[in-house]
Amino acid sequence: MNKITAAITAVGAYVPDFVLTNQVLETMVDTNDEWITSRTGIKERRILKDADKGTSFLAIKAAEDLIAKANINPLEIDLVLMATATPDMQVSATGAYVATQIGATNAFAYDLQAACSSFLYGMSTAAAYIQSGRYKKVLLIGADKMSSIVDYTDRTTCIIFGDGAGAVLFEPNYKGLGLQDEYLRSDGIGRDFLKIDAGGSLHPPTIQTVEEKRHSIRQDGKTVFKYAVTNMADASEQILKRNNLTNEDVAYLVPHQANKRIIDATASRMNLEESKVLMNIERYGNTTSATLPLVLNDFEHLFKKGDTIIFAAFGGGFTWGSIYLKWAYNKQ
């Protein structure tokens, strides 16, 4: 029997209609387009304005897009993995609700949270389920409504984040395509540098925590940037070395879209030419768990069967890593 590898066989995505531009942000906080663009590479981001819709809405839309494009029966999906840092609510898994709403009623589902590395870790998890031989179709969704946890009076964070969702389908492959290797890491030192202070078991919600705006995301930008540049680039370099790959072997780098300077540093360490580095950060900002699948969706037309694709991400916690995958299909 040939070895089972886990291949991506379909992608889908969804972003809200409302566009929050740098020019609009200039009217909200003390910032400007030149400052934001030069430091982040972001020009605009999408925002889900409906107060009664959460991350599940984005995830359902992305999953439905994949299902329609791939023409698959939701009843055949074995597992729905929901990568998100902004679940609809605590305790009740957003993934379970999403699975039911898309008609994947034969699947089990749960949430996976590793901040901006959630989707990357989800790829590893999905691949393990496929490689076990027990499951044939694993739907991995990365979705975040970051606007729900952003303080739009904090200019250090409100310029960065946007809302969106992307989805991929993993299936068994017997020809050596799909996920080849992974280099995943974490370091709890990051706990204090990128977080939402209140709302969890350590600091439950109180009137005081709400008044002090402790339920919004905060970060020590310089520290996070330093760790992100070093570790995302290092992970990508390690995955190349471990697999005896050169920059010539890499068809594309699919990096987490947090900051253009971080992406540029990672590409530089890998000695990649600009055309191999895929970016859409200027249009979406940092959508956290959704960045990687949104890049896949936007650039799917470029990928050829057998292409070597390197994924890299860095997130709060700290969490980071890189994945080496061989693309499994040509877009029709």
Active-site choice (22, 173, 259, 286): 286
The active-site residue, picked from 22, 116, 158, 259, is 116
Q: What is the mean pLDDT of residues 72-95?
A: 97
At 21 the three-state DSSP class reads strand
pLDDT digit string, tens, across residues 105-142:
999 999 999 999 999 999 999 999 999 999 999 999 99
Q: What is the predicted pLDDT for the residue at 292?
A: 98
Determine the number of helices (DSSP H) and then strands (DSSP E) in the chain.
10, 13
pLDDT value at 328 more than 90: yes
3 state DSSP class of 82: strand
State the Cα–Cα distance between residues 210 and 110, nearest whole angstrom.
29
**pLDDT for 221:** 86
Grade residue 331 by pLDDT with cuts at 50, 70 and 90: confident
Give pLDDT, residue 2.
81
Tokens matching residue 243: 């697999």
Asked whether residue 83 carries a pLDDT value surpassing 80, the answer given is yes
Mean pLDDT, the chain, whole residue set: 96
Over pLDDT 70: what percentage of the chain? Answer: 100
Those residues with Cβ within 8 angstroms of residue 191's Cβ, 6 or more apart along the chain or in another chain: 317
The yes-or-no verdict on residue 38 having pLDDT over 70 is yes
Report whether pLDDT(214) > 90: yes
List pLDDT tens digits, range 231-241. Answer: 999 999 999 99
Residue 254: per-residue pLDDT: 98
Residue type, 176: G
Q: What is the pTM for the complete model shown? A: 0.97
Note if 158 is an active site residue: no
Q: How far apart are CA 183 and CA 234, in angstroms?
A: 10
Active-site residue among 231, 256, 259, 297?
A: 256
In 137-220, alpha helices (H):
207-211
pLDDT on residue 167: 98
Check pLDDT > 80 for residue 321.
Answer: yes
* pLDDT at position 219 over 80: yes
Q: pLDDT tens for residues 141-168?
A: 999 999 999 999 999 999 999 999 999 9
Q: Is 103 left (phi over 0), alpha (psi -120 to 50) or beta?
A: left
Model confidence at 1, pLDDT cuts 50, 70, 90, reads low
Cα 99 to Cα 108: distance, rounded to the nearest angstrom: 8
Q: What mean pLDDT do residues 46-75 have?
A: 97
pLDDT at 312: 97
Confidence of residue 247 (pLDDT cuts 50, 70, 90): very high
